[in-house]
């Protein structure tokens, strides 16, 4: 299932937020969206998720213009996890079950229950099932939302800073789970990340946004220092070790004289 964005622009009053955005993402690909604050990363996801209105002919799933999709069809094809959400007073189990109700309605099938059991085990959520969402830590809450998004079994997965409240161990586990699900289930995943090292390690390609435009959309293995320097206006050095790319942003060293 491929995603195509064509000439997408968005203004609020006279202020341009997105300007002529065009790119494609293929099935089984994790696209990392990176860039400075205010570049339009979150706004781009909201348009693809139809949270913000889109004009005809701008966003396609394969050859189908999602402008014509019903809300029910959008719910089946696209899962969107926002950066900031209001926490409802429902349990963890109820939240996970919502990920399957698009398909089964109020009565979950045996297949649904098996998928629930699998994701509960995968994300280590068994001890949280009867807890209300608003009693969870930020990291626990984030894990539940990611698990629920994957249970929805979308074709397009949109994640806006999904690891921002997680500790390093859980960040690695979540990004690994997202990448594995994308590959095994044939999803097309777009993920906004501020941690550039994570973006390099867990994303197949990088979409670089700055000043409302796409500067580069490049396979991660083809990343160059000059691209990151242009994106963030900071001196950058890339190192290569064990077939991995590591990024170093230049800074000054200060020493105390004794």
In a domain, 129, yes or no: yes
The verdict on residue 254 lying in a domain is no
Which pLDDT band, with edges at 50, 70 and 90, does 55 fall under? confident
Q: Which pLDDT does position 101 carry in this prediction?
A: 83
The sign one gets for the Cα dihedral 125, 128, 129, 132 is negative
Nearest Cα to 211, choosing from 4, 19, 7, 14? 19
Task: Summarize pLDDT for 113-157 with one digit per residue, the tens.
Answer: 999 999 999 889 999 999 999 899 888 888 898 899 888 889 999
Q: How far apart are CA 201 and CA 213, in angstroms?
A: 24
Residue 80 in this model has a pLDDT that exceeds 70 = yes
What's 9's domain CATH number?
3.40.50.300
Residue span of the structural domain in which 155 resides: 3-249
CA torsion sign for 47, 225, 163, 61 is: positive
For residue 117, the SS3 value is helix
pLDDT bucket at 255, cuts 50 / 70 / 90: very low
What is the arithmetic mean of pLDDT over 180-188?
92
| Rounded Cα gap, residues 156 and 77, in angstroms | 6
Answer yes or no: is 199 within a domain. yes
39-43, 80-84, 93-97, 219-223, range with the lowest pLDDT: 80-84
- Band of pLDDT at residue 241, cut at 50, 70 and 90: confident
Number of domains in the chain: 1
Inform me whether the pLDDT recorded for 256 exceeds 60.
no
Task: Please indicate, yes or no, if residue 255 is contained in any of the structural domains.
Answer: no
Residue 256 within a domain = no
Indicate whether 165 belongs to any domain: yes
Residue 257 has pLDDT above 60, yes or no: no
Please, what is the average pLDDT of the chain? Answer: 90
* Confidence at 85, pLDDT banded by 50, 70, 90: low
Q: Is the pTM of this model over 0.75?
A: yes
Is 236 part of a structural domain of the chain? yes
Is 257 a domain residue?
no
Number of helical H runs and strand E runs in the chain: 8, 12
Number of Cβ within 10 Å of residue 76's Cβ equals 16
State the pLDDT at residue 107: 84
């Amino acid at each position: 299932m491929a995603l195509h964005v064509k000439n997408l622009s968005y203004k609020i009053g006279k202020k341009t937020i997105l300007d002529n955005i065009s790119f494609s993402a293929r099935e089984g690909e994790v696209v990392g969206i990176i860039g400075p604050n205010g570049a339009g990363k979150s706004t781009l996801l909201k348009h693809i998720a139809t949270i913000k209105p889109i004009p005809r002919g701008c966003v396609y799933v394969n050859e189908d213009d999602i402008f014509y999709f019903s809300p029910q069809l959008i719910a089946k094809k696209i899962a969107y996890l926002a950066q900031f959400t209001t926490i409802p007073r429902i349990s963890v189990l109820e939240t996970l079950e919502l990920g399957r109700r698009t398909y089964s309605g109020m009565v979950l099938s045996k297949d649904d229950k098996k998928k629930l059991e699998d994701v509960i085990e995968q994300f280590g959520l068994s001890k949280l099932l009867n807890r209300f969402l608003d009693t969870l830590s930020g990291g626990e809450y984030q894990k539940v939302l990611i698990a629920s998004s994957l249970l929805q079994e979308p074709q397009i997965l949109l994640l806006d800073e999904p690891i921002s409240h997680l500790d390093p161990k859980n960040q690695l586990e979540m990004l690994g789970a997202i990448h594995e699900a994308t590959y095994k289930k044939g999803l097309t995943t777009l993920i906004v990340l501020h941690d550039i090292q994570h973006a390099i390690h867990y994303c197949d390609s990088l979409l670089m946004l700055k000043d409302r435009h796409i500067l580069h959309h490049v396979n991660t293995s083809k990343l160059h220092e000059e691209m990151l320097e242009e994106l963030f206006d900071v001196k950058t050095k890339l190192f290569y070790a064990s077939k991995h790319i590591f990024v170093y942003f230049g800074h000054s060293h200060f020493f105390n004289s004794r």
